[in-house]
Amino acid sequence: MHEYSIVEALISRVSQEVEAHGARGVMRVYVKIGALSGVEPELLASAYEVFREKTVCADAELNIERVEERWACSSCRQALAREAGLICPRCSTPARLVSGDEIVLERIEMEVA
C-alpha cells in the first residue's frame, strides 16, 4: 500500500514547513488527489491517522480534495468531454491529460508566533 509512503513524505514536508516558519503546531493539512493518481483517498486518510501520531501533524486534521480527470486537445486546446474519447472531435488530434493525476500538498494551517 503506497499510501503509507505518501503519508510519510507528506508529514516530512509539513515538518520542513513548520521548522521554516517557526510554527508551534499544525491545525490542518490540505491535499489534492487526482482520480488517476493511483491513490485511494480513504486509504490515504487511514494511513495518515496511523502515522501522524507523535509527529508535527499529531493534532492536525487532513482535508482531501478529489480532482477529477480533465482532457484537452493537444493541438487546438479544446476541452474534451469524458465520454468523447481521447481524440479531438474538432481536429482529430490525440488528447492530453490536463488534470487528474496529481498528488499536491495544497495548504498547511499552522500556528505561528
Domains and CATH numbers, the chain: 3-112 (3.30.2320.80)
DSSP state of 77: -
Closest by Cα among 32, 30, 34 to 99 = 34
With both helix axes pointing from N to C terminus, report the angle between 41-51 and 3-21 in degrees, rounded to the nearest 10.
60
C-alpha cell at 71: 482532457
Least confident of 32-41, 53-62, 84-93, 103-112: 84-93
- According to DSSP, the β-strands at 79-80 and 95-99 are unpaired
- Global pTM reads 0.86
Closest by Cα among 68, 77, 112, 110 to 96 = 77
In terms of DSSP H, where are the helices of 22-111?
A: 41-51
pLDDT at 1 over 70: no
Q: For 25-77, how does the pLDDT look when each residue is reduced to its tens digit (9 = 90+)?
A: 999 999 999 999 999 999 999 999 999 999 999 999 999 999 999 999 888 88
